[in-house]
Structure 1
Amino acid sequence: MTEPVRRAGVFAALCTLSLAVPLLGPEIAGVLAAALLLGTFAITDGPLFDLLAYPGDYEDGRLYGLLTFVLAGVALGLLAVGTSMSIAVFVGTVFLVGYGNLVEQAVRLWTDDDVAHVTAFALAATAAGVVGQSGTLAITGSIEAVETALPSILFLAASGALLAALLRDVLLLYDDPIVMISVGLLLWLLAELEPALGAVEIAAALVVTIALGYVSYALETASVAGMLTGVLLGLLTIVLGGYGWFVVLISFFAIGGLATKFRYERKEDLGVAEDNDGARGTGNVLGNAAVGLVAVLGYAASSATLLPGNPDPNLFLFAFAGSVATAMSDTLSSEIGSVFETPRLITTFEPVEPGTDGGVTWQGEIAGIAGAAVVAGISYWLFPEVDVVGAGIVLAAGFVGMTVDSLLGATLEGKLLGNQGVNFLATLSGAIVAALLVLSLAVLG
């Protein structure tokens, strides 16, 4: 057994101590945490130090890695005891980070394949999250309580595992304290939005999103981080919105990914091709889908009457469709329009070089409008709330969002905003336009 695996095993064992909160109470658990914190300062060398130390700890002779890990657990524990964050979510979070890391480190002994590492972590973390939450509920409640909460347990464990895997891919492997805090806060939010699906349906949603995520990676339309981001977004969209919402979202990823590959060699010759052979990473996925995710969360929260003023959930549905229509429209406009050599700057209509921010072509504009029409058509087909007028609203929102993207590209991109910031603001504008048009019709009607 190598040093990273041994260290991961010790950290996983320490994660098991989080059960002291439901078993012994917060006071005794606090004493154990204090003892661990003192130990990080008392152990400065020797075999135990070597076992627990990360590479960066040797410079100062302090177990800073263990210290920050314990402090992250203490912070989540205090939230669990002092707020509405349940103790089961706290234990599940600590378990999934610790045991997911242990299994991943063990798999690293056998293969260097990044997908195998991510898969091992996600599966082990999901299982550990389920065990941690279920064990806590069994201790504090009953087996019946576990059975009742099983859909929520599975949803939270899978969502936390995917976010943890994503953060570990983007950050360093030694940043587990940041991962733990981030996952705990996400699960704190999601725990308030009880899923309407059962455990079997959630498991099916996991299978669907993971399969599609792997296909996107295999087709080189997404990086590992992009794949994880897409799977997490897909799972949240299915569970909190429904399969109809997921179809709208996946239509963007599928068509947008294919558009990226459209005449890719030609784009390389013109210098306008996406990096990494067109594989989209986390930044690109979130830049285009973050607003849609917020709309999904808003829809779930409004449906559960958790938002002040009890806004109509359909506002979030149209905001979601408007943001996706914008992302689709902008992606098709840029990926198809970029292969033509005579773009014009949207602010002055002067000819510019291919790839110039804010440069548009008539071919790209037509492709963008077609992309928005696809999202509008799918929304009309899947959602009873979206009638012919509603489909027109989605189409208009996509066109406006695409235009905003081009205007921001011509004026602010490269100066105040990066490409992902422009994408985010464009999709936000599409969502706002859709919601405002729906509100205006409601007032006029």
Structure 2
Amino acid sequence: MTSPVRRAAVFAAICTLSLAVPLFGTVVGAALAAVVLLGAFTVTDGPLFDLLAYPGDYEDNRLYGLITFVLAGVALGIIAVSSSMSIAVFVGTVFLIGYGNVAEQIARTRTENEVVVVTVFCLAATSAAVIGHAGTLAIEGAPLESVAPTVVFLAASGTLLAALLRDVLLLYDDPIVMLSVGLLLWLLAELEPAIGPLEIVVALVVTVALGYVSYALDTASIAGMLTGILLGLVTIVLGGYGWFVVLIAFFALGGLSAKFRYDRKEDLGVAEDNDGARGSGNVLGNAAVALVAVLGYAASSASLLAGHVAPVVFLFAFAGSVATAMSDTLSSEIGSVFETPRLITTLEPVEPGTDGGVTWQGELAGLAGAAIVAGISYLLFPEVDATGAAIIVAAGFVGMTVDSLLGATLEGTVLGNQGVNFLATLSGAIVCALLVLSFAVIG
């Protein structure tokens, strides 16, 4: 084995020690962690140091990689024993990181294809998370049959987030990844998703297939693909397929619109990088608010929110944010091929690609994008009547306008492009929710 594989195998073996908590209690688990930490501080050279050291550890002759890794596991364990996080989530998360890394390192010795490497990591990490989570539940005497689909959902969600973070961060940032995955799974577990075996299988197949298609068509990078799959999976499980259809309509049309007259956009200097493939930042900038709305809907449905906000409010917030993202994307991608944009704040002619520049063709395309989201919502959601559809269109148009105003005033100095996208979709969601509440009060 190569050194990275051996090191990953030892880290995975250390992760297995997390089972001591459900088997023997927190005192034994803490004692084992203390022994490992003491050893990590003591070993400063020699074969064992070479086995466990990351490249950066040699500068200080200290196993900081191992130390931070164990401390992250300890922090997650402390959260688990002192809060509502289950020990099963803790063990599943630690297994996911440890054994997923082993599989990835082995894959890298055999191929340089990043899609294959990511796939191997995801399969191994999901399996390890399921084994760790289910094994802990079995130790605790909990019935596995009724919770098996939820365990798979949590494992797959955590794996996708881990793969995404490992792609956009560094391989040596596993402590950050571990804590992030553990906190996400804690949140998702609190929402108590009620899904069956068939639903989780279909959800995984649909989201993975569409994610790979987006990558194969060069409409998303690997990070963008992972982000889209994670968002899609959470949306299906916590919202439903109607919510997913709305979301995937944006990803599909938005991705295709980036290809619209791409050569012309290159000539004008306004084409997206990577042949129009969307990265994780672009996906999250446009869909983060929608994801929060899905989580809010699930929390509201489970009566976890103070004040018991009606779930329908989050449904319209979701639709408003996606309508904004669709409007803004179609407006910029279609409107950018015309050479006479005008700055939205002064209406003066500006160069193509200028932040805040708009064209009447782009405005019409944006309005059509909002109408598409409204039409899909009207067809799929009983809560969305004709008035509701009109509200979604209005919210999408307002959000698109906010995006242009922010682009003309704050983008490039105070905000980046993804920050502008986030605030625009947030404004669309808020406007949509407030209009729905206003009409409900008036009615």
What TM-score comes out, normalization by structure 2 length?
Answer: 0.99
CA contact (8 A) 2:262 2:271 kept: yes
Q: Residues of 2 paired with 1:260 and 1:413: CA distance?
A: 21
> Counterpart of 1:16 in 2: which secondary structure?
helix
Aligned to 2:125: 125
Aligned to 1:285: 283
The aligned runs of 1:46-445 (5 Å cut-off) are 46-142=46-142, 145-445=143-443
Q: CA deviation at 1:10?
A: 0.5
Q: Residues of 2 paired with 1:127 and 1:289: CA distance?
A: 28
Cα shift readout 1:190-213 (whole Å, capped 9, x = no counterpart): 110111221221121011101100
Cα shift readout 1:369-411 (whole Å, capped 9, x = no counterpart): 0000000000000000000000001000000000110111111
Q: CA deviation at 1:276?
A: 1.2
Q: Which runs of 5+ in 2 are unaligned?
A: none
Aligned to 2:38: 38
Q: CA deviation at 1:88?
A: 0.1
Q: Residues of 1 paired with 2:354 and 2:46: CA distance?
A: 59
The one-letter code matched in structure 2 to 1:38 is L
Q: CA deviation at 1:24?
A: 0.6
Q: CA deviation at 1:148?
A: 1.6
Q: CA deviation at 1:319?
A: 0.2
Q: Residues of 2 paired with 1:266 and 1:222: CA distance?
A: 20
CA contact (8 A) 1:154 1:199 kept: no
CA contact (8 A) 1:126 1:158 kept: yes
CA contact (8 A) 1:404 1:429 kept: yes
> Counterpart of 2:147 in 1: which secondary structure?
helix
Q: Residues of 2 paired with 1:339 and 1:285: CA distance?
A: 22
Q: Residues of 2 paired with 1:198 and 1:127: CA distance?
A: 18
Q: Residues of 2 paired with 1:197 and 1:41: CA distance?
A: 45
The one-letter code matched in structure 2 to 1:131 is I
Q: Residues of 2 paired with 1:182 and 1:200: CA distance?
A: 28
Q: Residues of 2 paired with 1:6 and 1:194: CA distance?
A: 38
Q: Which runs of 5+ in 1 are unaligned?
A: none
CA contact (8 A) 1:151 1:195 kept: no
Q: Residues of 2 paired with 1:56 and 1:272: CA distance?
A: 39
The one-letter code matched in structure 1 to 2:107 is V
> Counterpart of 1:352 in 2: which secondary structure?
coil
The one-letter code matched in structure 2 to 1:403 is T
Q: Residues of 2 paired with 1:207 and 1:91: CA distance?
A: 26
CA contact (8 A) 2:289 2:426 kept: yes
Q: Residues of 2 paired with 1:123 and 1:198: CA distance?
A: 20
The one-letter code matched in structure 2 to 1:219 is L
Q: Residues of 1 paired with 2:336 and 2:379: CA distance?
A: 31
Percent identical among aligned pairs is 79
Count of residue correspondences? 443
The one-letter code matched in structure 1 to 2:351 is E
> Counterpart of 1:147 in 2: which secondary structure?
coil
CA contact (8 A) 2:150 2:194 kept: no
Q: Residues of 2 paired with 1:170 and 1:411: CA distance?
A: 29
Q: Residues of 1 paired with 2:60 and 2:114: CA distance?
A: 32
Q: Residues of 2 paired with 1:277 and 1:46: CA distance?
A: 48
Cα shift readout 1:350-378 (whole Å, capped 9, x = no counterpart): 11100011100010001000000000000
Would you identify which runs of 4 or more consecutive aligned residues in structure 1 move more than 2 Å?
none
Cα shift readout 1:273-317 (whole Å, capped 9, x = no counterpart): 011111110110000000000000000000000000001000000
Q: CA deviation at 1:442?
A: 1.1
Q: Residues of 1 paired with 2:173 and 2:356: CA distance?
A: 38
Q: CA deviation at 1:141?
A: 1.3
> Counterpart of 2:247 in 1: which secondary structure?
helix
Q: CA deviation at 1:149?
A: 1.2
Q: CA deviation at 1:223?
A: 0.5
Cα shift readout 1:189-245 (whole Å, capped 9, x = no counterpart): 111011122122112101110110000001001000000000000000000000000
Cα shift readout 1:104-128 (whole Å, capped 9, x = no counterpart): 1001111001111111111111100
> Counterpart of 1:386 in 2: which secondary structure?
coil
